[in-house]
């Protein structure tokens, strides 16, 4: 899924071109939409499995609005996560814990409505699935019906297996999330790397549990590279790294971190690819000065 063209085409190694081997029954969407219109071929859960099988790296970014969703989609990013990280990056909360389903639904709807190719995953926030399997199913159904998302994500391994199983049984794809789980940061004692020492046994048990429950992929967050490699080799489903080293099947990052918009320290695993805070700050200051000095608006920006 890496090295995507700016405008995905039949050469797209993840979802473009002819139907994957063994998928000869896959046809154009009979109900309309992108697949039937000749546009880019939508990434599906089967493409995640095929990518792991073929050794193709999967790429994912967070997105919370239609502008970034469209940009990332055209850049060939394979999946977009509308994360509860919006708590820190959109709503200004200190943690992800206050984020609600009602807050995430309009963000997810905006992202899903903007993309043609990328697979859109809605994050299930804290308090929306912990009570049990039926609560998890109710939340997942809301996201699928009200946003146009293609899957949901929830945190927890063994403790969340029944919730994952129930949602999957209803026909809704689930991406699992184990290792460091931000919604449990107080229970974990803070931002602590998981899977070290004896912790590897719990990590492996969690990995087995989410695969057995039917998750189509699993996020590994803040675990040692060697532990992530063991999980990746152990599982048939793809593993997605958030600070879990290079030997997983794919990578996921919060986009504001690598784009240079995050204030303060960013995690060790983040590589900064741009300084958007600097660029936007400079542009805003130039506009302010132009207005103050009478240079904007000029004749070319005015109507006669």
Hey, what are 281's tokens? 């700050």
Task: Report whether 4 contacts 17 (CB < 8 A).
Answer: no
CA nearest 126: which of 157, 155, 88, 161?
A: 155
Which of 201, 221, 233, 286 is labelled catalytic?
A: 221
Question: Considering just the CA atoms, what is the radius of gyration of the chain in Å?
Answer: 20
Hey, what are 153's tokens? 């994500």
- Count of Cβ atoms closer than 10 Å to residue 159 Cβ: 13
Hey, what are 173's tokens? 């794809």
CA nearest 76: which of 20, 121, 122, 12?
A: 12
Task: Report whether 13 contacts 56 (CB < 8 A).
Answer: yes
Task: Report whether 96 contacts 126 (CB < 8 A).
Answer: yes
Beta bridge partners of 122: 82, 152
Residue 65, annotated as binding a ligand: no
Could you give the 3-state DSSP secondary structure of residue 41?
A: coil
The secondary structure of the chain in percent helix, strand, coil, rounded to multiples of 5, reads 40, 10, 45
Could you give the 3-state DSSP secondary structure of residue 260?
A: coil
Residue 153, annotated as binding a ligand: yes
- Note the maximum CA span of the chain: 74
User: φ, ψ for residue 165 (rounded to 5)?
Assistant: -60, -45
How far is residue 178's CA from residue 223's CA, in Å, rounded to a whole number? 9
Known catalytic membership, residue 221 = yes
Residue 155, annotated as binding a ligand: yes
Which residues are known to be catalytic? 221
- The annotation places the binding site at 84-85, 123, 153, 155
- The annotation places the binding site for 3-methyl-2-oxobutanoate at 84-85, 123, 153
- The annotation places the binding site for Mg(2+) at 84, 123, 155
């Amino acid at each position: 899924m890496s090295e995507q063209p700016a405008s995905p085409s039949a050469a797209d190694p993840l979802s473009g071109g002819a139907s994957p081997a063994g998928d000869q029954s896959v046809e154009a969407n009979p109900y309309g939409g992108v697949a039937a219109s000749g546009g880019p071929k939508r990434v599906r859960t089967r493409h995640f499995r095929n990518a792991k099988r073929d050794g193709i790296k999967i790429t994912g970014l967070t997105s919370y609005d239609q502008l970034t969703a469209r940009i990332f989609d055209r850049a060939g990013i394979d999946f977009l996560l509308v994360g509860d990280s919006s708590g820190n990056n959109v709503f200004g909360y200190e943690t992800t814990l206050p984020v609600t389903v009602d807050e995430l639904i309009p963000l997810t709807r905006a992202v899903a409505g903007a993309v043609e190719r990328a697979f859109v995953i809605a994050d299930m926030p804290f308090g929306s699935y912990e009570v049990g399997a039926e609560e998890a199913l109710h939340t997942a159904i809301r996201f699928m019906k009200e946003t146009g998302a293609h899957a949901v994500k929830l945190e927890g391994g063994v403790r969340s297996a029944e919730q994952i199983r129930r949602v999957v049984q209803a026909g809704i794809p689930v991406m699992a999330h184990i290792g460091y789980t931000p919604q449990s940061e107080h229970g974990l004692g803070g931002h602590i790397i998981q899977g070290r020492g004896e912790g590897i046994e719990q990590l492996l048990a969690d990995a087995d549990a989410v695969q057995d429950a039917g998750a189509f992929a699993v996020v590994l967050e803040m675990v040692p590279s060697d532990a992530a490699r063991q999980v990746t080799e152990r599982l048939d489903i793809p593993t997605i790294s958030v600070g879990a080293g290079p030997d997983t099947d794919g990578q996921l990052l919060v986009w504001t971190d690598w784009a240079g918009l995050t204030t303060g320290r960013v995690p060790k695993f983040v590589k900064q690819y741009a300084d958007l805070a600097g660029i936007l700050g400079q542009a805003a200051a130039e506009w302010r000065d132009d207005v103050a000095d009478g240079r904007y608006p000029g004749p070319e920006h005015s109507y006669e």
